[in-house]
Amino acid sequence: MPTTTAPKNSFRALRDELQPSLLASFPDHVARLGWNRAQVAAHQRDRLGALLAHAARYSPFHARRLRGIDLTAVDAGDLTRLPVMTKAEMMNDLDAVFTDRRLTRSAVEDALAAAGPEPAIVLGSYLALTSGGSSGQRGVFVLDEPAAVQFFGSLSRNLVARLEAMGGPPPGGLPIAMVAAAQPVHATGVAAPLCADNPALPFRFLSVPVTQPLPDIVDRLNALQAPALYGYPSVLARLAAERRAGRLRITPIMVNCTSETCTPELRAAISDGFGAPVVDTFGSTEGLVGVSAPDDDTITFADDGCIVELVDEMHRPVPPGTPGSAVLVTNLSNRLQPLIRYELNDTFVQQPAAADHGHLRARVRGRSDDDFRYGEVVIHPLVIRSVLVRSSGVLEYQVRQTPTGIDVTAVAEQPVDVATLRDHLGCALTDAGLVAPDIAVRVASQLERDPATGKLRRFVPLPRSS
Q: Answer whether residue 333 shows pLDDT above 60.
A: yes
Q: Answer whether residue 466 shows pLDDT above 60.
A: no
Residue type, 201: L
Confidence grade of residue 454 (pLDDT, cut at 50, 70, 90): low
Q: Answer whether residue 101 shows pLDDT above 90.
A: yes
The answer to whether the beta carbons of residues 44 and 303 sit under 8 Å apart is: yes
Residues 353-366, mean pLDDT to the nearest whole number: 92
- Average pLDDT over the chain reads 89
The answer to whether the beta carbons of residues 361 and 354 sit under 8 Å apart is: yes
Q: Tell me how far apart the alpha carbons of residues 149 and 193 are, in angstroms, rounded to a whole number.
A: 15
* Percent over 70 (pLDDT), the chain: 92
pTM: 0.82
Cα dihedral angle (248, 263, 316, 344), rounded to 10 degrees? 30
Looking at residue 238, its pLDDT comes to 87
Q: Answer whether residue 5 shows pLDDT above 50.
A: no
| Alpha helices (runs of H) in 184-251, residue ranges in sequence order | 187-195, 214-224, 233-244
Q: Write the burial class of residue 451 (CB in 10 Å: 0-12 exposed, 13-18 middle, 19+ buried).
A: exposed
Sign, CA torsion 222/158/46/85: positive
- Of residues 176 and 382, which shows the higher confidence score? 176
Confidence grade of residue 395 (pLDDT, cut at 50, 70, 90): confident
Q: What is the Rg, in whole angstroms, of the alpha carbon atoms belonging to the chain?
A: 22
Looking at residue 245, its pLDDT comes to 93
| Alpha helices (runs of H) in 288-380, residue ranges in sequence order | none
> Which domains are present in the chain?
11-143 (no CATH), 145-301+357-368 (3.40.50.980), 371-460 (3.30.300.30)
Confidence grade of residue 185 (pLDDT, cut at 50, 70, 90): confident
Q: Answer whether residue 6 shows pLDDT above 60.
A: no
The answer to whether the beta carbons of residues 210 and 231 sit under 8 Å apart is: yes
Confidence grade of residue 265 (pLDDT, cut at 50, 70, 90): confident
Would you give the end-to-end CA distance of the chain in angstroms?
63
- Within 8 A by CB and 6+ apart from 437, the residues are 404, 405, 406, 425, 426, 429, 430
Q: Answer whether residue 132 shows pLDDT above 70.
A: no
Task: For 126, list phi and psi in degrees, rounded to 5.
Answer: -120, 145
* Interval 63-98: pLDDT, tens: 999 999 999 999 999 999 999 999 989 999 999 999
Looking at residue 202, its pLDDT comes to 95
Q: Answer whether residue 7 shows pLDDT above 60.
A: no
Q: Tell me how far apart the alpha carbons of residues 381 and 394 are, in angstroms, rounded to a whole number.
A: 17
Residues 219-231, mean pLDDT to the nearest whole number: 96
Residues 290-302, mean pLDDT to the nearest whole number: 94
